[in-house]
Amino acid sequence: MKKLVLIMAMLTFVGVNVAIAADVVVYENSKGNITFNHKAHQERVAGDCTKCHEGTPAKIAVDKDFGHNVCKACHKEMNGPTKCNDCHKK
């Protein structure tokens, strides 16, 4: 019984973490705002959160270095947008 309760608690915790992630996040930037569609990215990587997140998925502090290194590298690998105006929209 204790194992069942523990498993249910863990599943609830995982479900809460997934539900917290916003479907769309807008990052303000002087070169043009970046609209990040979290749901579309999840679908594109078939739910493999480790593509962007290290360890337990949590909010990522996205800055210029992260965007230009991590995001752009993944976009190149998966044939996503890589030009400035593809992501930065005024």
How do 88-89 and 33-37 pair as beta strands? antiparallel
Supply the pTM of this predicted model. Answer: 0.68
Question: 48: closest CA among 66, 74, 27, 72?
Answer: 74
23-89 carries CATH number 3.90.10.10: yes
* DSSP code for 49: G
In whole angstroms, give the CA distance from residue 17 to residue 70: 22
8-65 residue pLDDT tens = 655 555 444 444 568 999 999 999 999 999 999 999 999 899 888 888 888 888 899 9
Instruction: Look at residue 89 and give its three-state secondary structure.
Output: strand
Report domain extents, the chain: 23-89
